[in-house]
């Protein structure tokens, strides 16, 4: 048997290939974990996100080479779990570290895009624009068409939200300079749609042209639901311009395109289209069709509500299971840490072990005590906010059903009775008039009940008018309530409802407990996009510390509510000197139209 000597170069080649294979394996594994984390963030499986982040953090090679990738994932996790301060701090740190490193351009672009997104959602459009302008500058240098279009779209929407329509139009039109390809057609369709929304304020003909170009792209994409939504938006513009025939045609076209589809979005579009068809036909005097569409819409609304109930139950079960899984992970972590401590501690001398064990035990007890108190406070606040949110949502849902469905059905019944009465003329039986009276009385009671559940003034005219209305309603010979608002506009409806319910509860406290003759509610929209609310009265006052300790007057609930809105709640009062209450919360503005 022949034996050949092994060449020295072989010893160099084997480790080299081993190094290459281990490197490929390392990057494949970490890339897979990063993609898994992104997927878990999308599906809100946060306990799996934490588990995978810990796996990456335990890998020293990964931390040395791709720490900024990990920090971006952690920032997304913090932001999605409402830990906004931690998220912004990580992003700003990464932004600073990467800003001078041209080799990290794609990652740097992800950092500044996410910062722009965060400030956009916080309604700080100026700051958001600063970051998206940087995104645009980098994308132009990289000649990345998709990132360029995304930056133009984001800047245009920010300018629209700031009511700077000229600047918004400039940015949306710049998107039209790029050719329509499978990768760019979505962006260009959004641009035409948004230009149509802006143009509808000045020129309906120009708006129709933009919408038509958007429709052409949607038809090419075979995006039936997206096309139906855009067609219905155009119908809404005709309706506002009182061109009810065109509005009706668009609503019908939208309905016909989705009536056989059963996806969640398609069913929602179908529901809106039916209600809009009912309203358009009512304006056109075709009450029979209006009634039929209204009946179909209310049936569909009922079926959607039943599906939502089932989904809510499933969601509650999923959250419960996720919480149990997170608890199990925490228990496993605790057991693992305890095992490590025992393993390393056994190597120490007996005396040192006893001292360290005592210190550990004492610190553990203190931390546990502090943690339990913190968890109890957080749990109580969450329960309070969840209870109030559920109550407000339930009241709003019932009010909408009464107003949109029951009231509409009663109105339709009255129309039929009136039509029958007109046909019979002198031969009309007395029972028809009595039935009309009963229907009208029922309509009034339904309307009053709907207004009691949610203030109609609040929904129609906004917070300032609603507060003025409640002051007029509760003022009498014993107490005078005044409201003063400065620069208030319309805000997000849920935000207005929350602030109104807080003010209403505080007014009830004044009426029940203060013995005041005068009370003032002042609302101010500040330049830093904060809403200031100040309530003051000349009543008997109270000891603030005593009341807070007793959780009296519902103040603990109000405080928890405002904390959940990231706001400030302060009370100044003393016996015989009246009371002054100050609230400061970030404004949640009303966003319209743009995708």
Q: Which residues contact 37 (CB under 8 A, 6 or more apart)?
A: 49, 52, 53, 73, 77
What class has domain 460-586? alpha beta
DSSP element (H, E) containing 522: strand 518-525
The pLDDT tens digits for 156-215 are 999 999 889 999 999 999 999 999 888 888 888 888 888 988 888 888 888 888 888 888
pLDDT band, very low/low/confident/very high, at 453 (cuts 50, 70, 90):
low
Beta bridge partners of residue 582, listed in sequence order: 534, 570
pLDDT (0 to 100) of residue 427:
76
pLDDT band, very low/low/confident/very high, at 514 (cuts 50, 70, 90):
confident
pLDDT (0 to 100) of residue 536:
93
pLDDT (0 to 100) of residue 19:
40
User: What is residue 348's three-state secondary structure?
Assistant: coil
Return the DSSP state at 517: S
For the segment 396-402, the average pLDDT, to the nearest whole number, is 64
Which conformational region is residue 553 in: left (phi greater than 0), alpha (psi within -120 to 50 degrees), or beta?
left
DSSP element (H, E) containing 579: strand 579-586
Whether the CB-CB separation of 172 and 156 falls below 8 Å is answered with yes
Express as a percent the part of the chain with pLDDT over 90. 13
pLDDT (0 to 100) of residue 488:
85
Between the alpha carbon of residue 399 and those of residues 55, 450, 469, 564, the distances in Å are 49, 5, 19, 25
> For 73, what's the count of Cα atoms within 13 Å in the CB-facing half-sphere?
27
Whether the CB-CB separation of 498 and 565 falls below 8 Å is answered with yes
pLDDT (0 to 100) of residue 520:
95
Strands 480-486 and 530-537: unpaired
How far, in Å, CA of 193 to CA of 171, rounded? 13
How far, in Å, CA of 83 to CA of 378, rounded? 14
pLDDT band, very low/low/confident/very high, at 397 (cuts 50, 70, 90):
low
How far, in Å, CA of 452 to CA of 472, rounded? 16
For the segment 568-579, the average pLDDT, to the nearest whole number, is 89
How far, in Å, CA of 191 to CA of 209, rounded? 13
DSSP element (H, E) containing 389: helix 350-401
| Average confidence score pLDDT of the chain | 79
Question: pLDDT at residue 389 above 50?
Answer: yes
The pLDDT tens digits for 308-331 are 554 554 454 555 555 566 667 667
Q: What is the per-residue DSSP string for 435-459?
A: HHHHHHHHHHHHHHHHHHHS-HHHH
Domain ranges of the chain: 348-453, 460-586
Question: pLDDT at residue 339 above 90?
Answer: no
Least confident stretch, 5-14, 387-396, 560-569: 5-14
Q: Which residue has the higher pLDDT, 68 or 537?
A: 537
Question: pLDDT at residue 546 above 80?
Answer: no
pLDDT (0 to 100) of residue 273:
86
Q: What is the per-residue DSSP string for 121-182?
A: HTT-HHHHHHHHHHHHHHHHHHT-HHHHHHHHHHHHHHHHHTT-HHHHHHHHHHHTTSPP-T
SS3 track for 465-512 = HHHHHHHHHHCCCCCEEEEEEECCCCECHHHHHHHHHHHHHHHHHHHH
Question: pLDDT at residue 459 above 80?
Answer: no
The pLDDT tens digits for 407-450 are 667 777 777 777 787 787 777 787 777 777 787 777 667 766 65
How far, in Å, CA of 592 to CA of 197, rounded? 10
pLDDT (0 to 100) of residue 593:
46
For the segment 75-81, the average pLDDT, to the nearest whole number, is 88
Beta bridge partners of residue 580, listed in sequence order: 536, 572
For the segment 295-304, the average pLDDT, to the nearest whole number, is 80
For the segment 233-258, the average pLDDT, to the nearest whole number, is 84
Which conformational region is residue 593 in: left (phi greater than 0), alpha (psi within -120 to 50 degrees), or beta?
left
Question: pLDDT at residue 54 above 50?
Answer: yes
What are the φ/ψ torsions at residue 382 (nearest 5 degrees)? -65, -40
Whether the CB-CB separation of 38 and 70 falls below 8 Å is answered with no
Residue among 124, 152, 129, 125 nearest 139 (CA): 152
How far, in Å, CA of 197 to CA of 539, rounded? 51
Q: Which residue has the higher pLDDT, 572 or 486?
A: 572
Residue pointed to by tokens 């019944």: 413
For the segment 275-280, the average pLDDT, to the nearest whole number, is 88
Least confident stretch, 263-267, 276-280, 567-571: 263-267
Q: Which residue has the higher pLDDT, 295 or 307?
A: 295
pLDDT (0 to 100) of residue 401:
66
Q: Which residue has the higher pLDDT, 317 or 70?
A: 70
Residue among 491, 430, 494 nearest 465 (CA): 491
pLDDT (0 to 100) of residue 388:
59
Whether the CB-CB separation of 249 and 219 falls below 8 Å is answered with no
Question: pLDDT at residue 277 above 50?
Answer: yes
Whether the CB-CB separation of 138 and 109 falls below 8 Å is answered with yes
pLDDT (0 to 100) of residue 393:
61
Least confident stretch, 331-340, 375-384, 517-526: 375-384
């Amino acid at each position: 048997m022949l034996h050949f000597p092994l060449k020295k170069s072989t010893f160099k080649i084997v480790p080299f290939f081993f190094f290459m294979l281990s490197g490929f394996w390392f990057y494949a594994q970490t890339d897979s974990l990063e993609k898994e984390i992104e997927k878990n963030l999308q599906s809100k499986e946060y306990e799996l996100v934490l588990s995978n982040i810990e796996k990456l953090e335990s890998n020293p090679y990964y931390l040395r080479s791709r720490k900024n990738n990990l920090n971006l994932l952690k920032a997304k996790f913090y932001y999605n779990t409402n830990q906004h301060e931690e998220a912004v701090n990580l992003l700003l740190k990464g932004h600073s570290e990467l800003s001078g490193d041209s080799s990290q351009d794609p990652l740097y672009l992800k950092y500044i895009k996410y910062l722009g997104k965060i400030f956009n959602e916080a309604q700080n459009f100026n700051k958001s624009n600063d970051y998206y302008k940087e995104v645009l500058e980098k994308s132009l240098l990289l000649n990345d068409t998709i990132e360029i279009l995304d930056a133009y779209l984001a800047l245009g929407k920010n300018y629209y939200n700031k009511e700077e329509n000229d600047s918004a139009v400039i940015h949306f039109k710049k998107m039209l300079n790029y050719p329509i390809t499978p990768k760019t057609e979505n962006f260009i369709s959004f641009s035409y749609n948004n230009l149509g929304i802006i143009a509808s304020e000045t020129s309906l003909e120009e708006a129709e042209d933009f919408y038509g170009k958007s429709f052409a792209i949607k038809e090419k994409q075979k995006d039936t639901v997206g096309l139906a939504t855009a067609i219905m938006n155009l119908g809404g513009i005709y309706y506002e311009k009182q061109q009810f025939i065109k509005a009706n045609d668009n609503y019908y076209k939208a309905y016909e395109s989705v009536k056989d589809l059963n996806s969640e979005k398609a069913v929602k579009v179908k529901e809106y289209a039916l209600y809009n068809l009912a309203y358009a036909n009512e304006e056109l005097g075709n009450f029979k069709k209006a009634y039929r569409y209204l009946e179909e819409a209310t049936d569909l609304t009922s079926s959607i509500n039943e599906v939502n109930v089932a989904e809510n139950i499933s969601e509650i079960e999923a959250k419960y299971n996720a919480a149990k899984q997170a608890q199990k992970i925490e228990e496993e972590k605790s057991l693992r840490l305890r095992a490590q401590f025992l393993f390393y501690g056994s190597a120490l001398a007996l005396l040192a072990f006893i001292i360290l064990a005592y210190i550990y035990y004492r610190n553990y007890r203190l931390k546990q005590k502090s943690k339990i108190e913190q968890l109890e406070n957080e749990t109580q606040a969450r329960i309070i906010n969840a209870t109030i949110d559920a109550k407000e949502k339930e009241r709003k849902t019932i009010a909408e059903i009464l107003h949109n469905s029951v009231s509409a059905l009663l109105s339709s019944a009255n129309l039929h009775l009136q039509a029958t009465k007109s046909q019979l003329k002198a031969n009309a039986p007395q029972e028809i008039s009595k039935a009309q009276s009963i229907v009208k009385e029922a309509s009034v009671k339904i309307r009053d009940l709907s207004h009691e559940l949610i203030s109609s003034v609040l929904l129609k005219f906004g917070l300032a008018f609603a507060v003025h209305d409640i002051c007029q309603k509760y003022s009498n010979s014993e107490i005078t309530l005044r409201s003063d608002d400065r620069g208030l506009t319309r805000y997000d409806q849920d935000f207005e409802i929350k602030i109104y319910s807080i003010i209403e509860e505080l007014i009830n406290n004044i009426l029940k407990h203060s013995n005041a003759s005068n009370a003032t509610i002042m609302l101010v929209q500040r330049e830093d996009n904060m809403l200031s609310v100040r309530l003051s009265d000349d009543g008997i006052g109270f000891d603030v510390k005593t009341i807070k300790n007793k959780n009296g007057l519902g103040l603990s609930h109000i405080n928890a509510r405002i904390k959940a809105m990231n706001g400030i709640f302060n009370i100044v009062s003393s016996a015989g000197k009246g009371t002054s209450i100050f609230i400061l919360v970030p404004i949640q503005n009303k966003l319209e139209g743009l995708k």
